[in-house]
Amino acid sequence: MDAAVIGGGSWGSAFALHLGRLHQKILLWVREIEVYKDLQENRQNSVFLPGFQFPSEVAFSTDIQGTASSAPILFMAVPSRFCRPLFENIAPVLKRHQIVVSLTKGIEEGTLKRMTEVMGEVFSRSARPRLAVLSGPSFAREVAEKLPTAVVIASEDAEAARTIQHFISNIHFRAYTSGDVTGVELAGALKNVIAVAAGISDALRFGHNPRAALITRGVAEMTRLGLRCGAQKETFLGLAGIGDLVLTCTAQQSRNYHVGYELGKGRRLSEILAETKMVAEGITTTISVRDLAGREEVEMPICTEVYRVLYENKNPEESVRDLMLRALKVE
């Protein structure tokens, strides 16, 4: 195999589909047996990415260790809460020459570690591969539809970043490189929390003004925390930062925006989440962001109000009022 993708959700499936269209031999690992059977029999993922036929270049597996050891490049497309046990499962079969790329936009709850930090911790117990992260504005369905998409690949290993850049890029999919792993990962996680706030605002029919303000002040919050954690300011003005933030705050197909929108309509979080098999990373990331901001002593009022709406049952309209009545200050 030329590459393997771990995770048969919408993003992992769309990414494997994209790679297969590049005429590369790809192995896609899926957890759900019903999804695996559908892929084997119909070459479609009717649960998470309906309407698309996988090319013959893509094969499917339920053997996690076999998949992880099958190719020199391994893309990890699983929700953050499942990452550590999965990393521990594949660690014994990884080799130093491999490149492992995280496609996950989240922060581990409790440890407050980014996904490459978790990988570094787990993989250091055996032969540690080279690590990278892919992020940016990239809805799975639009990638599957071959709509123009631009992303960023970040790695402390510049050669690894360039290798991935050339491996995944074509006329429909353009990758840039970065050395700011911290910034790219934090931006990808933090934007999901702001997207929940944008969904709430739109459900309350507050109009375009507050959405623009949320995006702008959201960038400010993301940047403050990122700088405190050692990231570069420019990253938050790029694809992983404001690029992905604008996407998730303005499109109803964003899972996090959708959750916020339904909350703004007065529905309960448990009811909203029960309706879909797809994971909205911003829901659990909000807890980690609250804890990380507290640890780093960074003020993040929008993220704080999202936490209160999600986990303290605060009325969304009260949260908006409290944001607007905060002490006046210089921008």
Catalytic residues: 191
Helix, strand, coil % (nearest 5) of the chain? 55, 15, 35
Nearest to 268 by CA among 309, 207, 303: 309
Q: Angle at the Cα of 116 (from 23 to 248), degrees rounded to 5? A: 70
Q: What strand order describes the sheet that includes 26-29?
A: 58-61, 26-29, 3-6, 73-76, 99-102, 130-135, 149-154, 173-178
SS3 279: coil
Whether 114 contacts 186, CB under 8 Å: yes
Q: What is the DSSP letter of 156?
A: S
Which pair of structure tokens corresponds to residue 288?
């980690």
Which pair of structure tokens corresponds to residue 195?
């997207």
The dihedral through the CA atoms of 190, 192, 197, 201 has a sign that is: positive
Euclidean distance between CA atoms 258 and 320, whole angstroms: 18
Euclidean distance between CA atoms 2 and 312, whole angstroms: 47
Euclidean distance between CA atoms 251 and 257, whole angstroms: 7
